[in-house]
Amino acid sequence: EVQLQASGGGLVQAGGSLRLSCSASGFTFDDYTLGWFRQAPGKEREGVSCIIKSEGKTLYADSVKGRFTISADYAKNTVYLQMNSLKPEDTAVYYCAARYNKPGPRRLLSRTEYEYWGQGTLVTVSS
């Protein structure tokens, strides 16, 4: 059974940093893409970043490029999202998700591509 557990959210001032963690179990990272998504109040869930172990690739939404960094410690089955230079517009519930690496076209920052989801962790950035 695939399980994902996100943690690390909190309240931070604008310009500050937070590191989110996603603890994963029930699958092998070789076969899956791990993604971070966020959902602000009244808005749709949007893709933030993802990491593909089998390809050695990472991907970022334009809105976080240069500020957020996704990484993984595969020995600990954990994926991280380091968030720097936080802005009030980064305030959202952040979710980690897993997507099986099936062949064919893909949109890796689209929530519809991901089969498994963890519970969210709230990030609040004050101005």
The reported pLDDT for the residue numbered 81 is 98
Residue 16 DSSP label: -
Sign of CA dihedral 58, 62, 66, 67: negative
Cα separations in angstroms, 58 against 13, 36, 61, 68, 124: 27, 11, 11, 11, 25
The reported pLDDT for the residue numbered 11 is 98
The reported pLDDT for the residue numbered 104 is 85
The reported pLDDT for the residue numbered 47 is 98
Regions in the chain scoring below 50 on pLDDT: none
The reported pLDDT for the residue numbered 6 is 97
The reported pLDDT for the residue numbered 20 is 98
The residues facing 100 across adjacent strands are: 32
The reported pLDDT for the residue numbered 78 is 98
Q: Is 30 helix (H, G, I), strand (E, B) or coil?
A: helix
The reported pLDDT for the residue numbered 105 is 85
The reported pLDDT for the residue numbered 125 is 98
